[in-house]
Amino acid sequence: MAGNPVLFKPASEVPLIGKMIARCFNEGADLPEGLFQLILAAGKDVGSTLFKPPVRKVVFTGSTDTGKWIMRECSKHLIPAVLELGGKDPMIVLEDADIEVAVKGALWGAFGNCGQVCASVERLYVARPLFETFVARLKVAAEELRMGYPGVEEYDVGPLNNDAQRAVVEAHVEEAVARGATVVTGGRRPEGQSGFFFPPTVLVNVDHSMQVMRDETFGPLLPVMAFDTEEEALELANDSNFGLTASVWTRNRSRAEALAHRLEAGTVTINDHGFSYALVETPWHGEKESGIGISHSDAGMREFLFPQHINYDNVAQLKRRMWWYPYGNEVFELFKAFAVAMSHMSHLPGFVGRVVKNRTWRKAVFGD
């Protein structure tokens, strides 16, 4: 749309998806030949070759560590980068929330795509009066989710993408349990099922000393904590190096908006989680180590443009601009008078202020 040629490198774990995206652009959109080019390679094979001229901008979605490396490589040639990185996204359920809706929302937010979403719910904070009931319902709902393969059987949750990612999930569970966490449901590989499956897992008795509350899991793992006050929930939610998305669940809209403004996240959703990524008119961006720059929306479109300003100085009455040489006492006094006038008039609001400033300028320059 902005007229830029694109080099598109999908993650090396999903080359077939990358090929399908390229096909959509090159065949479906009927683009000029070469405008959209697909690169299939492992990141280590590409190295830093993509982060130097003639490339003029890099837009990356992926892990925070890789994003930091890309930013360092881009800085060698002052190439700007938009980085959409990891998340450890919190979900806050206040005591006046619709518990049925919140349980269903947590289920989808945490286990959609087997938890392999940067905006997944990875930390759940529930008001203490609701906590026991909420966890009990969440356990039942999670155990009703069916694991399986597309096209083979009816299912809700598929496998993880690779065994290394499953190992990360297992390590987070093991470390949390060793520190005192309790597995409510799930927690181990299913027996007799081939593939990189790991069941939807819910943990309680967790705290922020555990990896599961600090590091991105990127898998079907949901730790749940109780809180006593709204301030405590806010402090826990903001206690993270990440700030991609968050959600607040309550029947009170004004209360939700007040809390949302204080959450350190690029997107805060009320009574849902993360779905705005599918709305191209809404901006998508993170705070802290969740990234820099914006994708989607008008602001995201501007990320692909380099603005240029052209100024035509149309002051035909003057043969010499007041800031040109030669300098002298008269010019100095003129500039001083102008600065004093501006400081006195700058407090005037709106149109009146602009008119006064205009007249002051004309008197200083033209004497009228």
The residues carrying an active-site annotation are: 84, 118
Running DSSP on this structure, what letter comes out for residue 92?
Answer: E
Q: What does the block give as tokens for 211? A: 């990896």
Distance, CA of 10 to CA of 136 (rounded, Å): 40
Eight-class DSSP state of 132: H
End-to-end CA distance of the chain: 50
**Which residues make Cβ contacts (< 8 Å) with residue 79, sequence separation at least 6?**
51, 52, 53, 55, 56, 57, 58
Tell me the one-letter amino acid at 79: I
> In the numeric block, which tokens belong to residue 217?
């899991």
Rounded (10°) angle between helices 329-345 and 350-366: 170
**Angle, nearest 10°, between helix axes 253-260 and 230-238?**
40
Q: What is the DSSP string of 295-320?
A: BSHHHHHHTT-----------TT-SS
> Contact 93/124 with Cβ under 8 angstroms?
yes
